[in-house]
Amino acid sequence: MANIILNIAAKIFLNFSPMSATLIRETNNIVPIDLNYTSGTGQTMTTGQILYSFGTAGNPGFLQITSNSNVTLSGSGSVPIRVTSLPTATQANQSIVFQFDQSDIELELNYNSKPATSNVSISMPNRSTHDFTTAEFVAAYTDFDSDAMSEIKAEGNMTGYEYDLNGTGNYVAYTAGTWIPVNNITRLRYKALNQNAAYLKTNPWYAKDAQGNISN
């Protein structure tokens, strides 16, 4: 009697290095990441291939991970992938594990929020000069993650605004959009117009937090 002998090889699993990404809450995020691997045996990924998906595109809480290239995984190397997400306002940090070709892929997701600002309202006497204080802006600043305010800027028509660039008392016209470190806010001032009539001066202002996120 003779036998039919089938020698079945063991499954060779891919080894993927853990990944991490930082996403901004309440913002449409598209973050590219390189996924490093070893033990590739010719597996293929195609551009746009969905590796993980949760929720509905365009709705808060949506998270999707896709391949960003046509790649054959041989030996060791990296695969470009893309994380697309719209986190909720209170999304907590999380780690997710998903699979490709029965091999685990771990992705750590860290979330941060843009700071929020409110009006800085100042009442001034006629023809006076107001020297801004750090406290005036800090009182109008909040951050979900408790990240400190690092810089501010103002936009619009900046006529009347002056800034002491070097802290020597030599003021120059402030240029709209110039970031001012929080410790230098006291170098910013506004000189009221030389007129009798009352008026309202309104300029948008923005804050940057310690993570580099900018308020809306």
For 42-82, the pLDDT digits (tens) are 999 999 999 999 999 999 999 999 999 999 999 999 999 99
Exposed e or buried b per residue across 92-104, where buried means at least 16 C-beta atoms within 10 angstroms of its C-beta:
eeeeeeeebeebe
Widest distance between CA atoms in the chain: 116
Assess if residue 5 is contained within a domain: no
Q: Which of 56, 84, 112 is the last residue of a domain?
A: 112
* Amino acid at the residue 175: T
Instruction: Identify the CATH number of the domain in which residue 91 sits.
Output: 2.60.40
Number of residues written out for the chain: 216
- When mean pLDDT is compared across 1-10, 160-169, 198-207, the lowest value belongs to 1-10
Q: Which residues span the domain enclosing 98?
A: 15-112
Same domain, 127 and 108: no
Residue 116 — very low, low, confident or very high, per pLDDT cuts 50/70/90? very high
Residue 21's pLDDT is what? 97
Average pLDDT on 189-201 reads 97
Burial (CB < 10 A; 0-12, 13-18, 19+), residue 138, is middle
Same domain, 193 and 136: yes
Same domain, 146 and 185: yes
Same domain, 76 and 128: no
Same domain, 31 and 62: yes
Same domain, 169 and 94: no
Q: Which of 68, 97, 112 is the last residue of a domain?
A: 112
Residue 9 — very low, low, confident or very high, per pLDDT cuts 50/70/90? confident
Task: Look at residue 89 and tell me whether its pLDDT is greater than 90.
Answer: yes
Same domain, 91 and 129: no
Residue 10's pLDDT is what? 83
For 10-27, the pLDDT digits (tens) are 888 999 999 999 999 999
Same domain, 65 and 131: no
Same domain, 19 and 108: yes
For 122-150, the pLDDT digits (tens) are 999 999 999 999 999 999 999 999 999 99
